Every structure is written in structure tokens, then in C-alpha cells.
């Protein structure tokens, strides 16, 4: 028959891992603090039990992902102390998993905070025949879509990093999206021309720094122009 010490041993090891992660990983401490704030906010908003359970489940996913990320980083550093592209790749993938779980937790937490009635009003307005989105939400939504398309484009390419280089130039995409935004929301031809000129200067700076090729800058500019056309030229006002 197993002794009490043998039964409690795995729990002590697990608690040691939790404490070590909390002490050594700054992101883990941030997650814990945010968890306390989120739970307190859920109590203040008088969330129902099911909503609170969903929130706690998503928070636990983020914390577990962060712990796996820390474990993978420690293992990679042990096996490959010096720099190696595959070691960096493993760390980046683990960090990406934490990012995905965090984004989903934030989205779900925000939807839970909105409540059923508020979400139903938003859903009804989005599906109405006279769909209308304000100017500022269009800009923010457009910027989000630009970033999303750029990230996907960089993933399809075989060179560059998330924030440097890659198949689609994020700087050119954002620059030409904002230039297109100015073109659609103003009747001032000079302002529109200045917007396009600034976007071209941004693209030129990335080319002169040898971060992007002309093809990659063209793809980025195309993404920006198309999304500005969709957000301000095609979606009903």
C-alpha cells in the first residue's frame, strides 16, 4: 500500500513547478494578476455561473499554455545552449500558442462582459439591411484586417520574420491603407496626394533598408489599397 508521502509527492512537485514558473516568468505573473482582475470584474458584473466557468476555463488555457511555453524554452536552452534556427523556431511556435490562447481568452471575456442583450443588439445591427459602420470603427477594423492579411502573407513566404521582412510588407500595407482612407474620407485632393506620397516614402524606406523587395512592397501596397476600397468604398455608410 502506498504511503501518504508517496501520494503527496507528485502534488509537491507540481506546486514546485507552479511556484518556480511564477517566480521566474514575468508573463506568468502578469497572467495571474490579470486573472485576479478578470475574476473580480466577473463578480462585479454579476456573471452567471456558466459564464464564470467559461471565463475560468479560458484563463486556465492561457496559464497552461504559458507553462508549456516556459517548459519548452527551458528544454530547448538545455539541449541547444547556442543559437540555432530550429531552436528559435521551437520557441517562436510555443510563444505563438500562448498568443493565440490569450487572444481567444480576451475575445471570449469581452463577449461575456457584453452580455446576451448587448450582443444581440450588435448582431442585429450587423445583419440589418441598412448596415452602417462609423468612420472610426472602419479605420480600426481595416487596420486589424491589414495586420491579419500581412501575418498570413508572411506565413506563406519562406523568408523574413513576423516583424521584419516577409512576403508582404506590413509597413507598405498600413501606409497605403491609411492613404486610401484619406482619399475616401476627404474631398481635399492635396490631402489625398500627401497621403499617397507619405505611403510611397514609407515603402521606399523599406526598400532602401533592403528589408523588402519591390515585389513584396507592391504586394503590401496592393493589400492596403484593396482593403481601403472595401472598407470605405464598398461597405454601405
pLDDT, one tens digit for every residue, the chain (237 residues): 445 456 677 778 888 888 888 888 877 887 788 888 888 888 887 888 888 888 889 888 988 988 898 899 889 988 888 888 888 888 888 888 887 888 788 778 877 877 777 767 666 655 555 545 667 778 888 888 888 888 877 776 666 555 566 778 888 899 999 999 888 888 778 888 888 898 998 888 888 778 888 888 898 899 999 999 888 877 655
Determine the structural domain holding residue 206 and report its residue range. Answer: 135-234
Identify whether residues 142 and 103 lie together within a single domain.
no
Identify whether residues 107 and 154 lie together within a single domain.
no
Domain boundary among 97, 126, 155: 126
Please report, in angstroms and rounded to a whole number, the separation of the first and last CA atoms in the chain. Answer: 74
pLDDT of 133: 61
CA angle 222, 190, 206 (to 5 degrees): 40
* 219 and 167 Cβ atoms separated by less than 8 Å: yes
pLDDT of 158: 60
Query: Which tens digits make up the pLDDT trace of 61-73?
Result: 988 988 898 899 8
* Residue 2 maps to a domain: no
pLDDT of 233: 75
Domain boundary among 106, 126, 146: 126
Identify whether residues 118 and 142 lie together within a single domain.
no
* Residue 3 maps to a domain: no
Identify whether residues 96 and 21 lie together within a single domain.
yes
Class of residue 143 by CB neighbours under 10 A (exposed 0-12, middle 13-18, buried 19+) = middle
Identify whether residues 120 and 144 lie together within a single domain.
no
Class of residue 199 by CB neighbours under 10 A (exposed 0-12, middle 13-18, buried 19+) = buried
Identify whether residues 114 and 147 lie together within a single domain.
no
Backbone angles phi, psi at 10, to 5 degrees: -60, -35
Identify whether residues 118 and 146 lie together within a single domain.
no
Catalytic positions are 66
pLDDT of 1: 45
Please state, in angstroms and rounded to a whole number, the distance separating the CA atoms of residues 90 and 9. 31
Identify whether residues 69 and 101 lie together within a single domain.
yes
Other C-beta atoms within 10 Å of 149: how many?
Answer: 20
The answer to whether the predicted template modeling score (pTM) of the entire model surpasses 0.85 is no
Identify whether residues 118 and 21 lie together within a single domain.
yes
Query: Which tens digits make up the pLDDT trace of 30-60?
Result: 778 888 888 888 888 788 888 888 888 988 8
> What's the structural domain count of the chain?
2
Identify whether residues 175 and 78 lie together within a single domain.
no
Domain boundary among 126, 158, 188: 126
Amino acid at each position: 500500500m502506498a504511503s501518504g508521502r508517496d501520494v503527496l509527492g507528485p502534488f509537491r512537485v507540481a506546486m514546485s513547478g507552479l511556484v518556480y514558473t511564477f517566480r521566474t516568468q514575468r508573463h506568468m505573473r502578469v497572467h495571474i494578476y490579470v486573472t485576479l482582475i478578470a475574476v473580480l470584474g466577473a463578480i462585479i458584473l454579476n456573471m452567471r455561473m456558466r459564464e464564470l466557468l467559461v471565463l475560468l476555463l479560458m484563463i486556465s488555457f492561457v496559464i497552461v499554455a504559458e507553462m508549456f511555453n516556459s517548459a519548452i524554452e527551458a528544454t530547448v536552452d538545455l539541449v541547444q545552449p547556442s543559437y540555432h534556427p530550429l531552436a528559435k523556431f521551437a520557441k517562436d511556435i510555443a510563444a505563438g500558442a500562448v498568443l493565440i490562447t490569450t487572444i481567444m481568452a480576451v475575445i471570449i471575456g469581452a463577449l461575456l462582459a457584453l452580455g446576451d442583450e448587448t450582443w444581440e443588439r450588435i448582431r442585429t445591427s450587423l445583419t440589418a439591411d441598412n448596415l452602417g459602420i462609423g468612420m472610426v470603427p472602419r479605420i480600426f477594423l481595416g487596420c486589424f484586417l491589414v495586420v491579419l492579411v500581412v501575418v498570413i502573407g508572411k506565413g506563406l513566404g519562406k523568408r523574413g520574420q513576423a516583424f521584419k521582412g516577409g512576403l508582404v510588407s506590413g509597413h507598405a500595407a498600413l501606409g497605403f491603407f491609411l492613404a486610401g482612407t484619406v482619399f475616401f474620407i476627404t474631398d481635399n485632393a492635396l490631402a489625398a496626394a500627401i497621403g499617397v506620397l507619405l505611403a510611397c516614402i514609407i515603402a521606399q524606406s523599406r526598400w532602401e533598408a533592403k528589408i523588402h523587395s519591390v515585389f513584396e512592397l507592391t504586394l503590401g501596397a496592393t493589400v492596403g489599397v484593396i482593403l481601403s476600397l472595401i472598407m470605405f468604398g464598398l461597405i454601405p455608410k
